[in-house]
Structure 1
Amino acid sequence: MTRSVYVTGIDRGDGRQVVELGVMELLTRQVDRVGVFRPLVHDGPDRLFDLLRSRYRLTQDASSVYGMDYHEASALQAEKGTDELVSRLVDRFHQVSREYEVVLVLGTDFADTQLPDELALNARLANEFGASVLPVVGGKKQSAESVRAEARNACRAYEALGCDVLALVVNRVAPEDREVIGERLEARLQVPCYVLPDEPALAAPTVAQITHALDGKVLLGDDAGLARDALDFVFGGAMLPNFLNALTPGCLVVTPGDRADLVVGALAAHNAGTPPIAGVLLTLNERPSQEILRLAERLAPGTPVISVAGNSFPTAAELFALEGKLNAATPRKAETALGLFERHVDGAELLKRVEVSRSGKVTPMMFEHKLIEQARSDKRRVVLPEGTEDRVLRAADVLLRRGVCDLTLLGDTEAIRKKAADLGIDLSGAQIIDPATSELRATFAEQYAQMRAHKGMTVELANDVVVDVNYFGTLMVQTGLADGMVSGSVHSTAATIRPAFEIIKTKPDAKIVSSVFFMCLADKVLVYGDCAVNPDPNAEQLADIALQSAVTAEQFGVEPRIAMLSYSTGTSGKGADVDKVREATELARGQNPALKIEGPIQYDAAVEPSVAATKLPDSEVAGQASVLIFPDLNTGNNTYKAVQRSAGAIAVGPVLQGLRKPVNDLSRGALVQDIVNTVAITAIQAQTPTA
């Protein structure tokens, strides 16, 4: 069983960072502690390791990541030979491998390394490390036949040098050649072959990267604007009407700084969304007047306007030589890279070949990975009513790039597109609907009026009600135009879930709608219910919450061992509150005799084995409870917040349960990652059909 994966190549320009990032994503789904080792490194910052450390919260000391720099390696090899070089690198590697469950090795980059026979060196290092090899072959600007030949030769070369080849990745091929290359290689190779198409957004530099490379000065723009990808360059020299016709989505406008007409025209086009641009680059060290800059800022707030000293021709030469890089400052590129990897690489097959045993621990990151993976496995459509909210749009960007689910955004179409353009977000993969102008409005009004006729609702009144984005979104879910809904980042809980109570209603076997939080602790995930909806459930309702929470836990891979919490354990306490929990426990047992459930039980006896051994030594739940049911909202809400803040737990939720179709509420303080997680949970809930 290998404990290391060695990602390597045969030449520069293969875009290997996409594969290295994708493999890291796979490994961190399986184990808690993944180490990184780069045998040889260039001087200067290691942008990929910085990205891995940031994204995967690595605690590994950077000094342990590297074997030695290329100059030192070249000198050592020349003076004492390859054996001595390899011996020292192996020693460094084992210092890392002793500390981690699995190690991702980042092979040499074939870029100005001055090392003879670099492929053979990578092969030998992989063998000495006991690592399986994952070769990457670049196919950019090559014919399909050339790529196939190079890929076959690479695989055979590493096999001939005694390597255990896990699989082969061919990257950056022309999209139209991807399938035929894959089919022919599959017929010729003994290992899986994954073919990734070229993705222009990955090669596109961000405006910030361009500014740094050209030593530019930021005249206007914010961090979100500087993070936009420059997908094209449009050079301004023509008269304004012809210039506007030349603009393309995501382009960087390059124009002399004295062409105020082109600056204003480009930003006005961005404001109108026809098309959204990445920014404006001014040459010749010329700057528009302050009046023009103030107008530009009002036209397109946040859109970068950059000034550089050179004239347009040398600037163009530098721009065309630039290529985007994955690093910690480009999180959207990382999402794009992972989406590309996950669409075209069979992660389950690759992990099976790596044979990394899944860790017994479940860290917050592992839980989040599992949500994304599970949601993507059977894609559903989720409607997001708050389509003009920045955090929702940023979350939509992540969800679309990763291919987690299909999305519908609700709100004024022009306002959504303008906000997305300002944030540099591509919503071409999402559906956008304005409830006020949608052709569905009349249909939904008739349906809602019929549903609520017993409350005096008329079609005329309903026509106004369904314009509300939460009502419109809920009706989309009810009618099957969407599979689930997530709202609440700028709406109250009542505004989010009231339409669901009126329209979707509860499941036939559910007495009430309740909620759970997934509490992601350092090494496990607990399920807390109900901490958000029901103030003081009676015994029957409490039993229902326990049964619903068990189903939810199992749906998300948590084996349900239910603790019905109280201030008393077993038969030691008396009183109405304890009696309620005792009765609820018996009711739940009666409805599902196979369920592992204990109650009443105190929190410490539920989760701490040493306490459980004293208080309930024969219980199959005490000391190892995974689902904790609180007797009332006051206790549950305070406890989840105390654990979240004091223990540093990540609280994912609230996740509503008991509805016929999934609708989930966000905290108004929800972060982008919270929204991503909640949408993934909603999509997973929608994968299970309900009556």
Structure 2
Amino acid sequence: MNTLSRHRTFYLVPVSRDAGLTSVMLGLVRSLQLSGVRVGVVKPIAQPEAHPGDLDLAAHFARNLCGAAAPDPLAFDHAAEMVRSGQLGGLMEEVVSMVETVRADCDVVIVEGLIPDVDFQIATRLNIEIIRSLGADLIPVLAGGAHSPATLAAKAAAAAEQYGDDGRRPIAGLLINRCADAAAASALTELGSLTLKGSATPVPILAAVPNAPHLLAPRMIDIADDLGMSILNHGDIERRVQGLLIAARSPEKLLGQLRPGTLVVTPADRSDAILATALVAQRGMPLAGFVFTCGGRPAPEVAAVLAAAPLDRLALLSTEDDTFTTASKLANLSAHVSRTDGDRMERVISFIADKVDPRPLVHRLNLPVDPLMPPPVFRHRLVARARAAARRIVLPEGEEPRTIRAAAICAEKRIARCILLGAPDRIREVAAAHGIDLPDDVEIVDAEQQRARYVDPLVELRKSKGLTKLQAEIALEDSVVLGTMMLAQNEVDGLVSGAIHTTASTVRPALQLIKTAPGSSIVSSVFFMLMPDQVLVYGDCAINPDPTADELAEIAIQSADSAAAFGIEPRVAMISYSTGASGAGEDVDKVRRATDKVRALRPDLIVDGPIQYDAATVESVGRQKAPGGPLDGRANVFIFPDLNTGNTTYKAVQRSANVISVGPMLQGLRKPVNDLSRGALVDDIVYTIALTAIQAEARDASTRPAVVAQAAE
């Protein structure tokens, strides 16, 4: 029987039934990918269901969230039958063939073992035989809990003895999940390794991951599906349930217990409790919804209240079970992530990957690593660079809930030091209403008290336009103008706005007070489009309605430099409805002239145009329509001829392909100001803040040599 090169195959052995094996496996895969390693994933045999509906989704999420090669597993019943009928050798041939196919295009294959919680003897035997057949290095996966390092070392040593093929299978590292708390995880991380009985050298701890209850929150739709509940009103059926409240007490006793994400469980005839809860939701508390027990429905008068906006956004579920039974089922709901909840699993993967140290495994591979730029890598590097930059970013929309939450996340992840502009009492009130804990690192600036000190500087900046003090006072009532003045006065490093302001309201003060950077004649924008396997740059999709050829060339150069600044080697396509010399007319001629100017100004750039989108992105089409062209169907920076084309294209791609777009990021200003879509999600705001911090750091880096030279003179 063939075996694989052992230093390219790692087998994750579950030591604990509650270790979160698949989540840890995917976190390890993501971490290795972020290190530039090409990773394949194999779950050779599907985990049998310990609870009905707990489908094994390891391969599904590996493909769809990590972009890894991952074949579907063999059915457990099929594998068990082959073992019982004496065909174990044939089964192992199937497994080896599966792994060999994946390994052909990968540097390393991560193999997820079986948790022996349904058929202990069969599962354990399969783990042992697969490890032996693959010649894989072992990575035991343990549940940390409150166990001491000595206890964990003993558990890992027992796994090594059971699965280690008499010491022939080395242990590459340990993955410890679900530690009791952050302190326990930190203590293990600081240890760095554990000494196992029978092991000559300490075994590295690849990760120590603390419990994260916020990542366990199911959606209302998951509860309805898992428990077979009827949906009376879909509302926001995707909303997550952060806590349960059994409405078994009088209304005044319930009100103080309502929190964002609360699921209220009550008999349908408890109109008093339902109406009291509805009142709190109507005032802005983002509850998850209701479950009405005992098969009832609210009285018509109460139902009418719940059907009116904004309460119609609440999901309403119904069950035949009584309240006690329902509460028991909800408390014991499976923690497995459903196939459709990619958002939750993505958060789990990112959380775990952030705790993994892949260096011991990368060192064992001894591979030359080429950096990759799939979306997870881009996002990871974005956060890492922003964290290193440590910039102060002002958020003029400081009373807006998404902005407040984004500021809290940025503080928690050390992405930037955010400043919320607004009325402090109102900011804290909104934060409390939405269940946001504002860290001390988030600075709140009272806009009302600060306006006066910017009047004279604003008059000075706009004196050529004849601005008076009264006009300046009126202008500074706009929080965006106030935030822009803070940036102009070097009190902050960047500004992010647009969640409730128009693009013009964000950009106009920047043009008036910050102005364009030296060498730039226009301000333009780019979106980073996070496609499934790579990041593309689209410009200009937000600012310039109909740029001239010269302006289009400048946009192309700005966009290429932005791509390079974020680790994307630019290959620029000047998009048109025609490729090469096949078309004529002012529109295509403009793109042709712009392309020629880019080549003249920046001969270092790979650029082609005019070119159609398919010729720029599909190698076979490119060979046919643009033979011998420099892009070879691999463009990653796309310059659209006008705003109509660019904005329409980015939104069509974003919505039709369910692609995350980060931006627009403004280019060409002396200091970074960035605009948000008014439909921006919290994550959009977080990543835009990170972009802004990186722009600020890059701007300072580019001016340092000049400052040094001046000092020398």
Could you state the TM-score of these two structures normalised by the residue count of structure 1?
0.77
Q: Is 1:46 aligned to residue 46 of structure 2?
A: no
Cα distance in 2 between the residues matched to 1:368 and 1:93? 29
Structure-2 change in CA distance of 1:294 and 1:612 (3 Å): closer
Amino acid in the other structure paired with 2:335: G
Task: Choose from 182, 203, 213 the match for 1:200.
Answer: 213
Gaps of 5+ in 2: 196-201, 704-713
Structure-2 change in CA distance of 1:671 and 1:38 (3 Å): farther
Equivalent runs, 1:343-382 vs 2, <5 Å: 343-346=354-357, 351=362, 353=364, 367=378, 370-371=381-382, 374-375=385-386, 378=389, 380=391
Equivalent runs, 1:232-311 vs 2, <5 Å: 233-272=244-283, 276-298=286-308, 300-311=311-322
Q: Is 1:86 aligned to residue 92 of structure 2?
A: yes
Amino acid in the other structure paired with 1:268: L
3-state secondary structure, aligned to 2:505:
helix
Tell which deviates more after alignment, 559-568 or 502-511: 559-568
1:451 CA displacement: 3.1
Equivalent runs, 1:409-448 vs 2, <5 Å: 428=438, 439-444=449-454, 447-448=457-458
Structure 1 residues 21-64: Cα deviation after superposition (integer angstroms, max 9, x where no partner): 3234345554788454342332653344444444356796xxx4
1:556 CA displacement: 1.6
1:289 CA displacement: 0.9
1:662 CA displacement: 1.9
8 Å contact from structure 2 (residues 592, 609) kept in 1: no
Name the counterpart of 2:168. Answer: 162
3-state secondary structure, aligned to 2:177:
strand
Cα distance in 2 between the residues matched to 1:79 and 1:579? 70
Task: Choose from 57, 74, 83 the match for 1:67.
Answer: 74
Structure-2 change in CA distance of 1:459 and 1:136 (3 Å): farther
1:454 CA displacement: 3.9
Amino acid in the other structure paired with 1:217: S
Structure 1 residues 74-99: Cα deviation after superposition (integer angstroms, max 9, x where no partner): 33323317545434432344344457
Structure-2 change in CA distance of 1:516 and 1:32 (3 Å): farther
Task: Choose from 106, 116, 120 the match for 2:112.
Answer: 106
Cα distance in 1 between the residues matched to 2:277 and 2:646? 53
Cα distance in 2 between the residues matched to 1:419 and 1:451? 34
Structure-2 change in CA distance of 1:86 and 1:65 (3 Å): same
8 Å contact from structure 2 (residues 407, 442) kept in 1: no
Name the counterpart of 1:6. Answer: 11
3-state secondary structure, aligned to 1:315:
helix
Structure-2 change in CA distance of 1:180 and 1:457 (3 Å): same
3-state secondary structure, aligned to 2:670:
coil
Tell which deviates more after alignment, 482-491 or 233-242: 482-491
8 Å contact from structure 2 (residues 580, 609) kept in 1: yes
Q: Is 1:552 aligned to residue 546 of structure 2?
A: no
8 Å contact from structure 1 (residues 611, 623) kept in 2: yes
1:388 CA displacement: 8.4
Name the counterpart of 1:23. Answer: 28
Cα distance in 2 between the residues matched to 1:609 and 1:655? 32
Structure 1 residues 315-365: Cα deviation after superposition (integer angstroms, max 9, x where no partner): 333232224322343344324313421432235665555567656875566
Structure-2 change in CA distance of 1:502 and 1:208 (3 Å): same
Amino acid in the other structure paired with 1:239: S
Cα distance in 1 between the residues matched to 2:150 and 2:231? 45
Amino acid in the other structure paired with 2:22: Q
Task: Choose from 332, 335, 346 the match for 1:321.
Answer: 332
8 Å contact from structure 1 (residues 435, 441) kept in 2: no
Cα distance in 2 between the residues matched to 1:431 and 1:498? 30
Cα distance in 2 between the residues matched to 1:237 and 1:565? 63
Could you state the TM-score of these two structures normalised by the residue count of structure 2?
0.75
1:432 CA displacement: 8.6
Amino acid in the other structure paired with 1:319: L
3-state secondary structure, aligned to 1:688:
helix
1:198 CA displacement: 0.7
1:420 CA displacement: 8.9
Name the counterpart of 2:199. Answer: none
1:389 CA displacement: 8.2
Amino acid in the other structure paired with 1:222: G
Structure-2 change in CA distance of 1:578 and 1:77 (3 Å): closer
Amino acid in the other structure paired with 2:127: N
8 Å contact from structure 2 (residues 595, 610) kept in 1: no
Cα distance in 2 between the residues matched to 1:579 and 1:681? 31
Amino acid in the other structure paired with 2:298: P
Tell which deviates more after alignment, 496-505 or 239-248: 239-248
Amino acid in the other structure paired with 1:265: A
For these two proteins, the number of residue pairs brought into alignment is 669
Cα distance in 1 between the residues matched to 2:225 and 2:282? 26
Name the counterpart of 2:710. Answer: none
Structure-2 change in CA distance of 1:131 and 1:555 (3 Å): farther
Q: Is 1:129 aligned to residue 134 of structure 2?
A: yes
Name the counterpart of 2:604. Answer: 596
3-state secondary structure, aligned to 2:313:
coil
1:15 CA displacement: 1.9
Cα distance in 2 between the residues matched to 1:526 and 1:656? 16
Name the counterpart of 2:198. Answer: none
Structure-2 change in CA distance of 1:164 and 1:490 (3 Å): farther
Q: Is 1:76 aligned to residue 96 of structure 2?
A: no
Q: Is 1:663 aligned to residue 673 of structure 2?
A: yes
1:172 CA displacement: 1.0
1:269 CA displacement: 3.0
Structure-2 change in CA distance of 1:418 and 1:50 (3 Å): farther
8 Å contact from structure 1 (residues 384, 473) kept in 2: yes
8 Å contact from structure 1 (residues 220, 305) kept in 2: yes
Cα distance in 2 between the residues matched to 1:614 and 1:227? 47
Cα distance in 1 between the residues matched to 2:496 and 2:246? 42
8 Å contact from structure 2 (residues 663, 676) kept in 1: yes
Structure-2 change in CA distance of 1:555 and 1:241 (3 Å): same
Amino acid in the other structure paired with 1:128: S
Amino acid in the other structure paired with 1:137: L
1:468 CA displacement: 3.2
Structure-2 change in CA distance of 1:643 and 1:504 (3 Å): closer
1:262 CA displacement: 1.8
Cα distance in 2 between the residues matched to 1:544 and 1:368? 27
Amino acid in the other structure paired with 1:588: L
Structure-2 change in CA distance of 1:671 and 1:185 (3 Å): closer
Cα distance in 2 between the residues matched to 1:437 and 1:678? 23
Cα distance in 2 between the residues matched to 1:320 and 1:625? 51
Structure 1 residues 457-512: Cα deviation after superposition (integer angstroms, max 9, x where no partner): 34544444334353344345445675434445665433221121123223345444
Structure-2 change in CA distance of 1:449 and 1:329 (3 Å): farther
